[in-house]
Structure formats: C-alpha cells, structure tokens
Amino acid sequence: MSIFRTKSIEASMASADDSEHQLKKNLSALDLTVFGIGVIIGAGIFTLTGRAAQQYAGPSIALSFVLGAVVCGLAALCYAEFASTVPISGSAYTFSYATLGEIIAWIIGWDLLLELMLGASVVAQGWSQYFVTLLGQLGVTWPSGVAPGSVFDLPAFVLVVVLTLLIAKGIKESMRVNLVLVAVKLFIVLFVIFAGIGFINRDNWTPFIPPSEPGKSTSGLTTPLLQAITGMEPVTFGILGIMSGAAVVFFAYIGFDVVATTAEEAKNPQRDLPRGILGSLAICTVLYVAVTLVLTGMQKYTEIDPDAALASAFTAVGKDGYATLISAGAVAGLTTVVMTLMIGATRVTFAMSRDHLLPEKLGRTSPTTGTPVRLTLIIGGVVALIAAFTPIGKLEEMVNIGTLTAFLLVSLAIPILRKRRPDLKRAFKVPGSPFIPYLSALMCFYLILNLSVETWIRFIVWMALGFLIYFAYSRKHSKLEKGEDQAGPGPQGSPEVMSER
C-alpha cells in the first residue's frame, strides 16, 4: 500500500472512543488558554528579550515581537481550524494523517517528539540554573557536585520526575498546578511592567530603530543555511535588524501548538480550542511587547545584560531586591513550560501508538487516571535523563526546526483538507484561505532557512533514524496496513476505510 495513504476523519474520531485508548474530557476554554500561556511565557521573556534587543534591533525589538506574533498568528489560525475540525489528540500529527498521508504524519510526529522532549529537557536545565540562583539569593548554597553544569544536574532531574508523576496522576490535576504557577508567573510579568514604568527614560528609545550596521560574520557549520547558500552578509539593527530579531524572538512564542495536543480532552473542542490557541497567543503578545518597551526604556539597549536582562535592569536603577522576586517568577514560569511540553510529548506519542505506528500497548490509558500512565513514565524518564546528563548547548535550535517544520506542513494541509472534505463541519475557518495558509507556510520556511547548517545536519540525522523505524516497524504494523480502522461516510457519503493519495 502507498506510504501516502490517509486515515479518514471518521476513523480518527472513532479511535477516540476505544475504551482502552480514551482520554477524559476535563478541559475548559480557560484551562486551554492557561495551558497555552503556561508554555509560551517561559525562558523567552526572562532572557531572550534582552539578547535580541542588544544584538539585533535595539528598542525596535518591540516591532520584532509584533512581527513574530503575526507569523505565529498565521500558523495559529491554521491550527485553530484543524483543532476544531478534528478534535483528536496528536496535534499536527493527526491533522497531517488525515490530509498529507501516513509518511508525512510520521515525519510530523517524529518532529514533534524531537521538539517537545528536547524542549522540556532544555527548559528543565534552565529552571535548574534559576533555582540554584534563587537559593543563592536566599542564602542557601547548593552542592556543586550536583549543580547545573556538573556531571549530574540533580535539580533538573528531580523537577522532571515530580512533574512526570503529576502528569500521570491526571490532566485536571496537572492543570490545577499549572493554573497556580501561571498566576504567579503573570504576576511577576505584570510586576516588571508596572514597576518598571516609573524608571523609563525616553531618551533610551532614541533612536527607536538604530542605524543598520554589519552583523557578526559566521563560518563553517554555524553559518545560517540561507547565508551559506546565497553568500549574503549578516546585518544587525535597521529594518533588516527588526527582521533578524523577529527570527530570534519567534521562538519565544513556541508553545501555542501544544494546546492542540489536548484536543481530545477538551469538553467542547469545536468552541474552546480556537479560543485557547488564539487567546493565549494574543495575551502573550501584549505582555511581550510591554516588557520589551519597559526594558529598553529602563536601560540603553547597548547596556542591556543579554543573560539576565530584567533583573539587571532593576539593579541598574538601584532596585537590587527586585532581582530575587524576578528569579522566583522565572522558577515558577519555567516549571509550567516543562510540564506543558511533557504533556504535549505524551499526547503525540499516545496518538501514534493508537494508530500502531508505535507499539499499541504504550498508548493504553489507565481506567483510574484516564491518562496513558506507561507512556508518561517512559517520556518522563527519557526527559529526566537528558536534562540531568546532557549538555544541551546548541541543540536548542533542534527544538526550533522541528516546530517550524510542523507549522509549515499544517499550514499546507488546510487548503488540501478544504478541497478533499468540504463537507466537514468547521467551527472555525481560516480567513482568506488558501492565501493565508500559503503565506504562513512561506514565512515558516524562511525562518527555517535562517537556522544553522549544523542544525540542519542534526535534523537530517534525526529524520534518517525516524525513517528507519518507520520502514522497519511502523509501516507494517499500521492500522491502515492491516485494515483495522473502520471509517464513517466519505465526502459523498460512501463508505470509506482509507483514501489513497
């Protein structure tokens, strides 16, 4: 059978009713919005804002955040239509299985697994650094032998283990903890905004768009792919600096797509998923822009500390005590990011195992918790080990390439599904289709080209491993291969088990 065979929407919906692979519907629109905010607002707002302002755009980094939000918003519209039309766990994996074919679905699932698991590990290490810093500010010394950067990062390991047990207990319990931590994080962000307004010096915003100047040249494997292909010289500040800044800060928005992975657990997915996805993105955009304006108003962009921008800004104006509060907010904020990414990784692999592209037993849910406990423990164990033993470093870009690839393919899938299944009920529709989806795909592709050559090499190696697993195991064990999925009516009301592309 063709590797581009597609799983019908009806078969996807029917698989969610299997008692052994059924998730509990516990999440409201508020839960989903908080879920999205919890993962979007993380390391980006505490560190990325300062680095991007200092190195790329100056005060106009606020415009970079707006541009990044527009690009991300286009992809969010596509996710919102898919999530409300196909409210099944798995996010982009499930969407592409119904439109682009099994092999593309596998690629997306494999990408998402890379993004979410590695992302959770990276953020757990960042959480560990903030945690030890906070302890130091409180007068507590953490043993250097098990500190961040040592052979074994104990704080990161313990964090992931605790969150794994919480996620296994149930999605609603996880959301309750998430709600509290997001509230703390939002308080800190609002505190930074309102406390910092009084220290703004408008002269620091002049010039708002600094004059363009040559950027730092790179060579070899660290060169962005687009630069390596075209021979273009990098530029910072000016209009192109705003564009470069947008490519950097775009990754501060990554996370709204994780909301779609919980589609099957939403009480009213057709109504609540678009609200959760678009609502969380809109709230975070406003907060990001406000923080950048305050930060660049408090300090001249050339003097901003790229590693601890917010805390250093308050230290520069004589408010040393605020640094401890900001560190506490970072600890709370990064906790929610790690938890949300782990939930997303579990739900994607859950969907893949339910389709038998991964071993089916992994995806069985517990009748007590309504969650895939076995799969959760496996995912959590892998993330804990990576976070504890691996110096992530430049592998952070791997998170970005997996995410952008998923965004690109979901955007392309919208007009395909519109053409193939015009009969489907769509509670939310992307306006201006197919122009908006194609524009979203084009912008995502442009950002992918700005990632380094070494990131592309690592990505190709990861995908080669994925293809090996697919052709050695997944293809012959797939439900579609064995004809186990029974679908409902097709586009013209005729029975349809699968469609060949």
Tell me how crowded residue 47 is: count the other CB atoms within 10 A of its CB. 20
**pLDDT given at position 46:** 67
- Please spell the DSSP secondary structure of 405-471, one letter per residue: HHHHHHHHHHHHHHHH-TTS--SS--TTTTHHHHHHHHHHHHHHHTSBHHHHHHHHHHHHHHHHHII
pLDDT value, residue 441: 93
Residue 335 has pLDDT above 90, yes or no: no
Q: What angle do CA 338, 324, 312 make, to 5 degrees?
A: 95
Residue 451 has pLDDT above 60, yes or no: yes
Q: How far apart are CA 209 and CA 296, in angstroms?
A: 12
Report whether pLDDT(133) > 50: yes
149 with 128: CB under 8 angstroms? no
pLDDT category at 1 given cuts 50, 70, 90 is low
End-to-end CA distance of the chain: 11
> What pLDDT sits at residue 68?
84
Mean pLDDT of 153-174: 85
Answer yes or no: is pLDDT of 172 > 80.
no
The DSSP secondary-structure symbol of 25 reads -
pLDDT of residue 17: 55
> Which pLDDT band holds residue 490 (cuts at 50, 70, 90)?
very low
pLDDT for the residue numbered 360? 86
Q: Given pLDDT bands bounded at 50, 70 and 90, which one contains residue 500?
A: very low
pLDDT over 50 at 255, yes or no: yes
Q: Check residues 245 and 438 and name the one with the higher pLDDT.
A: 438
Task: Specify the pLDDT at position 497.
Answer: 34
CA dist 493 and 421 (Å) reads 11
> What is the mean predicted confidence (pLDDT) over 162-187?
79
What's the confidence (pLDDT) of residue 461? Answer: 92
Q: Which tokens in the block code for residue 70?
A: 């527009």
Whether residue 434 has a cis bond before it, omega within 30° of 0 = yes
Q: Evaluate if residue 113 carries a pLDDT over 80.
A: yes
State the pLDDT at residue 377. 93
| Residue 73 pLDDT > 80 | yes
Cis peptide before 207 (omega within 30 of 0): yes
Percent of the chain scored above 70 by pLDDT?
85
- What was the pLDDT predicted at 176? 73
Residue-averaged pLDDT of the chain: 80
* Structure-block tokens of residue 12: 């996807």
Q: What is the DSSP letter of 355?
A: T
More confident residue, 46 or 302: 302
Residues 417-440 have a mean pLDDT of 86
- 498 pLDDT higher than 60: no
Out of 2-6, 30-34, 281-285, 325-329, pick the least confident.
30-34
The set of residues, in sequence order, having a beta carbon less than 8 Å from that of 240 and lying 6+ positions away, is 212
E strand or H helix that includes residue 118: helix 102-137
Structure tokens at 13: 């919906």
45 CB-near residues (< 8 Å, 6+ apart): 189, 252, 287, 288, 291, 333
* Residues 16-37, mean pLDDT to the nearest whole number: 65
pLDDT band at 164 (very low <50, low <70, confident <90, very high): very high
CATH architecture of 25-481: Up-down Bundle (1.20)
Which helix (H) or strand (E) segment holds residue 329: the answer is helix 321-354
Give the confidence band of 18 by pLDDT, cuts at 50, 70, 90: low
For 265, residues 6+ apart whose C-beta sits below 8 A from its C-beta are 23, 24, 25, 26, 27, 89, 171
Q: How many CB atoms lie within 10 A of CB 166?
A: 19
Pairing of strands 213-214, 235-236: antiparallel
Burial of 460: CB neighbours in 10 Å, binned 0-12, 13-18, 19+: exposed
Task: Give residue 488's pLDDT.
Answer: 40
Query: What's the CA gap between 34 and 220, in Å, rounded?
Result: 42
Asked if pLDDT for residue 154 goes beyond 90, the answer is yes
Per-residue model confidence (pLDDT) at position 272: 75
Q: What is the dihedral of CA 324, 326, 329, 334, to 10 degrees?
A: -110
Q: What is the pLDDT of residues 362-384, one digit of tens each?
A: 878 877 777 788 899 999 999 99
pLDDT at 130 over 50: yes
Is the pLDDT confidence value at 467 over 90? yes
Residue 501 has pLDDT above 80, yes or no: no
**Whole-number percent of the chain with pLDDT over 90:** 16
Query: What percent of the chain is helix, strand and coil (3-state, nearest 5)?
Result: 70, 5, 25
pLDDT tens-digit profile of 258-289? Answer: 776 665 666 776 677 778 878 888 888 899 89
Please give the pLDDT value at position 60: 92
- Which of 118-127, 153-162, 320-329, 392-401 has the lowest average pLDDT? 392-401
Task: Considering only residues 225 and 460, tell me which one the structure prediction assigns the higher pLDDT.
Answer: 460
